[in-house]
Chain A
Amino acid sequence: MAVLNEEQQMLKDMAADWARERMPVTALRSLYDHGGGGRADSIGYDPEAWAEMAQMGWTGILAPQDHGGSDFGYLSLGLILEEMGKTLAASPLLSSALVAVSALRMGGDDAQQARWLPGLADGSVIGTLALDEGPHHAPERLALAATPSGDGWTLSGIKRPVQDGMVAHLAIVAAHTSGAPGVRDGITLFLVDTAAPGLTRTPLDQIDARLPATFTFDKVIVSPDAVLGEVGQGADLLDALRDRAAVGIAAEMLGSASQAFDTILDYLRTRVQFGAIIGSFQALQHRAACLFGELQLTRSAVELALVAIDEGDTALPALASLAKATAGDTLHAISSQMVQLHGGIGMTHEHDAGLYLKRARVAEQCYGSTAWHRERWARLNGY
């Protein structure tokens, strides 16, 4: 555990209590039940719970105080995301309170901040990043085109998957205003109202019961004041944004992995076979001891990256990739072992193990897979 100040410790305790009482894993089951046919009207999150999160100030943790936020920093928001990860609490907190708010803080001008930040901070507006276009996170290949039209721009192309895309009001859309895919020059970020004419959103029925979307842009017209940062110079801002998003999801993954591990331990301490508690078998003890070690590496890497953001550490790109890749490896292993060590019951829809496994595989792909981040770390370190 990182060294927390009093406010951070209170925030963490509050988030842990709230997640346990208000958003236990059963809340995810009631949201969307893949084992029981599913709710046709699912929107991937619980608006009443979201309102409570906003009420507690979580949506405004990264927003400046003069725009209705508390400016508590990334470590604080990371603590909450970790607690949400423990119970698989589904909400747009990461997409909106971390990614969208970060985008406006880092790239928004006064007018843009005044227009969007108060709503994002009080939870009445949900924001998200529309970046990926194909099966893999590949920002270097983004192709969505923005062509000049009048004094603004026309966007055409596809974004998929867009996290929390069906409920977002605001999308930060990465497009090429010039230059070809694969070239950093010419990337521009746009603030797009998801109600804009020509933008069609289609839900993606994903294994983890979240509801990302495919965004189809058919000549969507945006005004010049929708440009975040400089025209054609958005690549650096996009990198900084992706680093923060990757660290945010890594914090959530740390929470999921530590809860999955605790659930494994509970089972090892109580399940009896061959007349013995199975946790007394050395093969299982050693597997648990090794997973515990991986969990320690993950906590260290995630906390290091969160603090690096707050302190403006220039090593953030490598540290963000370290955090995401380490969390990816660990959650992958622990979620698989959660099923394995529970045996048959772990394969049933009734047991929570499957829900952790499904969320794990989705989170592993979000904002860059383990492989993508390892490759990036390698490049940054001269391998």
Chain B
Amino acid sequence: MVESEAIDEQAFRLEARAWLKANFPPSLAHVPGLIFQGDRHTAEANADYQLWRQRMADKGWGVPNWASRYGGADLTSLHGKIIGEELTAIGGFNPIRSYGTMMLGPTLLEYGNEAQKLEHLPFIASHERRWCQGFSEPGAGSDLASLQTRCTDMGDHWLVNGQKIWTSGADQADWCFAIVRTDTSRKQGGISFLLIDMASEGIEARPIVLISGSTHFCEVFFNDVKVPKGNLVGQVNQGWTIAKRLLQFERNSLSEVKADITPLSPLAHEYLGTDALGRIDSPDLRARMVHNAMRHEAYMATVHRFAQEAKNGGPSNGVSTLKNLWSGIIQERSELLVELMGANGLGWAGDAYGEAEREAARALLHSKAFSIYGGSFEVQNNITAKHTLGLPG
């Protein structure tokens, strides 16, 4: 039994390797997939990216473990893991990966009705429909359930009025999955989960300029927006349960980002010099880099261990713990990268700074968001304390 599975695994690996070699455009090797995921215009302007996206969509390998009627390939998560490993090995990326595959898709699979799944999942699986997440509001950040965007039952449709904020990519999105208030008399119990076409009349998305210069996040205004009745997922007022599930998928995808972290040591030798014993010539900075790198290694082992335990039916309540470890370790690394570059790591623009140097500065600024989005550091600690450690609320 084990043996035949092992053979199957090896055979699939070879099959995946051959197909990827034949179909992944070499021009995209080692290009970070995030630049296409994050920007519609970059994605549309790149013919090789479009070719790659279409091939993966036709093959169903962007979401290999989804059913083929939803655009997947009817495979297991082990197959998916192998595809991912083979893709990484050739410097490739999954062109289908998106908020749709990471968050909405898994949620619809659990809570959506068949009509909703058939209407949306195939377009997520082909990455032809970009989604944004309408959760936070000006008055509902960490206390998300206090959201006020109203959704009124007008008989033959829903009417949505209100404002969302920190909505990633809303100005480029085709659709929005949102949580809205359908009952003002109860907090969590008055929330519903709604799918909204961003082309609807009455929606305006305005980009927000962040400290890093990024305009990725938007505020979104809903002014008498009509939404078809069939776009409500699950039951009316069941939205908080669905949203919490979706947030688990989100935290999971955030903390599982492997994001090939290259060691800082070669750069550190380059910028700081090497002492007579071959060490980075800055004892204090070196010590902090080593500490951070070791934590990262232990963190990666923890991601792996939690995944193993989940597969074996063990405890998997650790998503909040992982997210906080990850954000802390990566934020510290971003600081260290700029610090080792010194003044050269502080450039905003201009040829006086190398591209990697400018990126390091922006990345440091951007990294401050890691412990805020997807549930802040403090909220994650609240969750761990109450749900994992059983401390009183």
A residues with CB within 8 A of B:
1-3, 265, 268-269, 277, 279-280, 282, 284-286, 288-290, 292-293, 296-301, 303-304, 322, 325-326, 374-375, 377-379, 381-383
Contacts and interface: CB of A to CB of B under 8 A. Distances in A.
Contact of A381 (B293, B308, B321, B324): B293
A284 B298 CA distance: 25
A279 B391 contact: yes
A294 to B, nearest CB: 9
Nearest to A280: B392
Nearest to A285: B385
Main secondary structure of the interface of B (DSSP, over half): helix
Nearest to B269: A382
Name the residue in A2, A285, A382, A383 with the highest tally of chain B Cβ atoms < 10 Å from its Cβ. Answer: A383
A336 B392 CA distance: 23
B390 interface: yes
6 contacts: A269-B391, A279-B385, A289-B380, A290-B324, A296-B318, A322-B298
Given A265-B389, A325-B294, 7 more contacts: A277-B392, A286-B378, A288-B385, A289-B324, A297-B299, A297-B302, A300-B298
A280 B393 CA distance: 6
A290 B381 contact: yes
B384 interface: yes
Interface string B284-307: 001101110111011101101100
Contact of A378 (B279, B305, B320): B279
Given A289-B321, A289-B381, A297-B302, A322 B393 contact: no
A38 to B, nearest CB: 37
B313 to A, nearest CB: 11
Interface in B247-305: 263, 265-266, 268-269, 279-280, 286-287, 289-291, 293-295, 297-299, 301-302, 304-305
B54 interface: no
Interface residues of B, number: 44
Contacts of B279: 378-379, 383
Contact of B312 (A3, A280, A303, A377): A3
B309 interface: yes
Contacts of A375: 290
Interface of B: 263, 265-266, 268-269, 279-280, 286-287, 289-291, 293-295, 297-299, 301-302, 304-305, 308-309, 312, 314, 318, 320-321, 324-325, 378, 380-382, 384-386, 388-393
A378 B295 contact: no
B305 A292 contact: no
A379 B301 CA distance: 21
Contacts of B291: 374
B290 A374 contact: yes
A273 to B, nearest CB: 13
Contacts of A298: 298
A292 B388 contact: yes
B324 to A, nearest CB: 6
Query: Which of A279, A299, A375 gathers most chain B CB within 10 Å?
Result: A279
B265 A383 contact: yes
Contacts of A383: 265, 268, 279-280, 286, 289-290, 293
Contacts of A300: 298-299, 301-302, 304-305
